[in-house]
Every structure is written in structure tokens, then in C-alpha cells.
Amino acid sequence: MLPLENIYQGRTLVIGHRGASAYAPMNTLPAFELALQQGAHGIELDTHLSKDGHLIVLHDFTVDHTTDGSGAAKNMTLAELKALDAGSKFGAQFAGTRIPTLDEVFESVGGKLFINVEIKSESTETDGVEQAVAECIARHHLMTSVIVSSFNPLALQRFRSILPTVAIGYLYHPQWTFAPEVMDALPHEARHPHHSMIDAAYMEQARAHGWRVNTWTVNDVDEARRLHGLGVDAIITDQPDVMIEALKN
């Protein structure tokens, strides 16, 4: 397992969920840059491939929810995706905001923030996303300031075989599991459970295995303080400013 002390430094990190997504369109450069301005230690984002093989930063597998377009992102070229408005549905002041590429996010805030890259994958087979993510991280020299997570353990297994020097985290929810037995045999640095799963016994088990615990998505101040008291390593939130203030007291 890889050491992560340079990232955590003995503190509970506050990570912007898809950026500061309570205040700006999720998974866009304005949301990531706002998280940085608010003092977040890091950001979390989602990535998968366009039709022509570019890594785009988008949560859903379709563009319907956050843009003025419709259809599956994997069936659209980067040029087609870049033509969409990814800001107006959130607010008129964000009109014209575009879906970013992972390269663009790394260029904007890489080296300034810890970045949790979630690989979006629902298949037992690869579409090449793991290789593309590994190459992008290496190209930007961010191996020590990135963690790669996924709900798909097979994607994590594939990524680990390509770039073993980057930390990985198993993302899960009690009702959303996919081949969890893969993780039993795959050394990994972190667990990313839904916050409702965490209690003292959970933290004891995580520590026994040497896992960091990065939990999502926490927007309630009292819950954040409970988790902080239990010793979680990171709180992923839509409101970095609120969580930072809450954990000061």
C-alpha cells in the first residue's frame, strides 16, 4: 500500500464534491476553482470517455441532466460535447460553461488541490478509460496528489495494473455493490463509504486494514462533526466553505 501522509498531514480533509457544487455547476471549472477559493483541500470529480477517446469530466453517462443536450456521452465526440451548455441549467450567470476535459481540470487546479478522480465504469470489460486516466495523471506529473476511485472494483484492478504508483479507493454504498470480492485480493489505500455506513466499529476495522476513510456526501454540519470525531480522513461535500468552518470548532 502506498503512503499518503503527504496528502493528509494528520488532518481531516474537506473535499469539494464535483467541486463546490452547491454554488456552481457540478463538474465544471467554475465549481473546481470556487472550491479552491473557499479553501478546500481537494476536489472530487467523475470521468469517462467521449466517442473519440477524450476524458471528459461529467457525472452521468448521459448529458441530459446538466446540459442543454441529450444522449449518451460515449456516443458524442469531444467537439459535440464542447458545443453543449453545461451551466445554464444551474443558473443564468453560468451560461456558456462547458464540459471540461480531465486535462483542463488538471491544468486549472492540479498541483493546487488533492484530486479524487472517480472512474465511471459499469462494465466487466474495459473501454480504455483506465489507461487514459493513467496516462493523463502521468502526463501532468500528479501521481502523488491524486487518488483514483470507482464503484467498479474491476476498473480499480485494471488501473492498479497500469499505474501502481497512484493510490486507489473503493467507492461503495450498502445498496450499490459490484464484484466486491475483487477488493479482498486487491491492495488499496482507501475506502470511500457513504457517510451513513460509518461508526466507531467501521473506523476500527478500517484502521486495522490500514485504509484511509474518505466519506461522501456530507452537507450537514452535525454529521460532519460526528464523522470528524470518529477520525475520518476526508469529508466530501457540496459546500466546502460550510464544512471548513464547522470543523474549526
Query: Where do the domains of the chain lie?
Result: 5-246
Q: What is the CA radius of gyration of the chain?
A: 17
Q: What is the mean pLDDT of residues 81-85?
A: 98
Per the residue annotation, which of 48, 54, 59, 195 is the catalytic one? 59
Q: What is the mean pLDDT of residues 34-57?
A: 98
Q: What is the mean pLDDT of residues 210-224?
A: 98
Q: Tell me: pLDDT of 158 over 80.
A: yes
Q: Tell me: pLDDT of 152 over 90.
A: yes
Per the residue annotation, which of 17, 48, 140, 188 is the catalytic one? 17
Q: Which is it for strands 42-49 and 55-57: parallel, antiparallel or unpaired?
A: antiparallel
Give the pLDDT band (50/70/90) at residue 178: confident
Given its phi and psi angles, is residue 179 left (phi above 0), alpha (psi -120 to 50 degrees) or beta?
left
Q: What is the mean pLDDT of residues 42-55?
A: 98
- Tell me the pLDDT of the chain averaged across its residues: 96
Q: Tell me: pLDDT of 177 over 80.
A: no
pLDDT at 13: 98
Given its phi and psi angles, is residue 39 left (phi above 0), alpha (psi -120 to 50 degrees) or beta?
left
pLDDT at 249: 65
- Alpha-helical (H) ranges within 151-239 are 153-162, 181-184, 200-209, 221-230
What CA–CA distance (Å, rounded) separates 71 from 28? 19
Q: Which is it for strands 167-172 and 114-119: parallel, antiparallel or unpaired?
A: unpaired
pLDDT at 123: 84
Percent of the residues in the chain that have a pLDDT greater than 90, as a whole number: 91
Q: Tell me: pLDDT of 243 over 90.
A: yes
Residue identified by cell 461508526 is 199
Let me know if domain 5-246 sits in CATH 3.20.20.190.
yes
pLDDT at 175: 83
Per-residue pLDDT reduced to its tens digit, 191-211: 999 999 999 999 999 999 999
Give the pLDDT band (50/70/90) at residue 6: confident
Per-residue pLDDT reduced to its tens digit, 108-137: 999 999 999 999 998 889 999 999 999 999
Q: Based on the residue annotation, tell me whether 59 is a catalytic residue of this protein.
A: yes
Q: Based on the residue annotation, tell me whether 17 is a catalytic residue of this protein.
A: yes
Q: Tell me: pLDDT of 87 over 80.
A: yes
